[in-house]
Structure 1
């Protein structure tokens, strides 16, 4: 879907919500609607925002660092370059357009930003309209996600032979990042998770100096960003001789829970049903207390985006949604097992990437 088509779809949503003006602040939403700046350079900076109106021209607001880049993605006559202080100047410009009431993406604002911007214009919290559009991927987006996922598989195939006793978690994290970059990824989707032995019991383990033992489980969760779209896959392997009975049983349970949950993925199914499928299976085998997180999440321009695949805020699946299914069981005394696939919801069911 082209950026103008996405803007039209957003404006239809705004009209249904009776929202005449929306200030798009979230970087991924800004990029989705314009192609401009998927990321902000720093967590305390902004590359710009979009002022979208159901009537009248739409504007891209930015500062002088991004003037030329903004004009590559937005009609130059509707790029406004503001000065500093940023929020004060944005509010001043909005009022020159005769606008006093603005709906904002509060989830993309800190309290200070909301209060400062609110000194110049009347702010109203907006529902997550752009995120709702982003949950349904168009064919071009699905092609990009498939390519990103394929690269992820390629990196796994490359790094697995290097999992030998003595290598450190940091070594593997650097190796996988290099492989992603050398094969076309713009960046990693997220800092990689590499856990050897008991560190695998930390669902978001930070790679450290721990060295791989001669017989040990290894959990790696990684993803790359290719053509703007993220991949996210987790694998858990036993490196060395014969796996322990505890590891083999846990791996079997995790993979079967995943298989059962994926089998249910189809249009009309609620995401909390998928989570419950895995949770109930673990409960039947007396291990549910070791399943400590949601079953998965949506993925696209962001690694974690709507829809969530857990017991909270359930969503009815629709064709074009892309989710992860990643059950895991964790035991501090020896490690953990997680196995993750990306799954596309299709018209008649699903497709495992």
Structure 2
């Protein structure tokens, strides 16, 4: 399904005009893609979508080596290529000739260097934060976006199903991570949406641990947290936890509590209630069982064309859940020296307020031999 980039861009421009923003500059690669269809990581080079409401025109500034790709992918066809020896802020000033007094920026991502360069180029400008509106647009996922997100979920679940067949006692976390990332591309993904997390035994108690030379052993928890990015640029993010060989009663207890917490968090999801409700519902299960001290992170986050987007599902977020929001529910218990369990699903509040769970991979405890 195609994405209506034009409508997204028109919605933003209408908002900017209503706020009397004369010129807006968007530099976050994910936001540039969201509005234009052009995806690139410029690294240290300058890339920006410029909306000039004084002239009712738009420009896409890209590194010269990306010019052809931008011309092919972007709905904004006025493309300004900047070669490595040129000063991008001088080029920007040349193209935005005339005085600018109200300049819109993504305040959270503008560096001090960028601010200083802009201040030199446009000394009369006062800067306004346009990021909250952009975040609000991206917060609500269309059905077209969900189709792409579901594709990313389906691929990672194929990877999980095939990947756990390759688990062997004695293989390292890194070896399994490599097998999983090979499968991602074999099943049609562009690659991982983040560095694949494979943690065995006591290392599974590290929520964002890094795979290493730790070997997988009989009796270990095995935590696998991974996702893919597909060609349409949408991400998935799924976690499942397994036990190798045989589970102890303690492992079964911890796993069952996390599963109940995951189910309680999902059951609490509905439109119109504070987002904190979902975290509180999931957290209460773990706290009531005496493991509250071992669950010290939020229960979920939004995702889309980036791995972490709005909304943030934590116990103090008073913002209301709305139709169109998609986010993870991923409670966990992490006990030092013993290990940890996390179960993560992706949940969507659809156009009519119904709850759709994109993830389908089984959640009952699986023992891998």
User: TM-score range with shorter-chain normalisation?
Assistant: over 0.9
Cα contact 2:271–2:349 (8 A) shared by 1:
yes
* Structure 1 spans left out of the alignment, 5+ residues: none
Quick check: 1:127 aligned with 2:130? yes
Structure 1 equivalent of residue 241 of structure 2: 236
Quick check: 1:194 aligned with 2:195? no
For the residues of structure 2 that align with 1:235 and 1:108, how far apart are their CA atoms? 33
Structure 2 equivalent of residue 20 of structure 1: 22
Say how many residue pairs are matched. 349
Shift of 1:315: 3.1
Structure 2 equivalent of residue 161 of structure 1: 165
Q: For residues 169-318 of structure 1, what are the structure 2 equivalents within 5 Å?
A: 169-226=173-230, 227-241=232-246, 243-318=247-322
Cα contact 2:22–2:101 (8 A) shared by 1:
no
What is the aligned counterpart of 1:344 among 326, 348, 364? 348
Change (3 A) 1:16 1:258: farther
Cα contact 1:11–1:53 (8 A) shared by 2:
no
> Matched residue of 2:305: which SS?
coil
Structure 2 equivalent of residue 107 of structure 1: 108
> Matched residue of 2:135: which SS?
helix
For the residues of structure 1 that align with 2:75 and 2:255, how far apart are their CA atoms? 54
Cα contact 2:262–2:330 (8 A) shared by 1:
yes
Cα contact 1:270–1:317 (8 A) shared by 2:
yes
> Matched residue of 2:121: which SS?
coil
Shift of 1:76: 7.5
Q: CA RMSD in A?
A: 1.9
Spell out, residue by residue over 1:251-287, the C-alpha distance to the aligned partner (whole angstroms, 9 max, x if none). 1111111111111112112211111112222222221
Cα contact 1:215–1:239 (8 A) shared by 2:
yes
Quick check: 1:79 aligned with 2:70? no
Shift of 1:100: 4.6
> Matched residue of 2:198: which SS?
strand
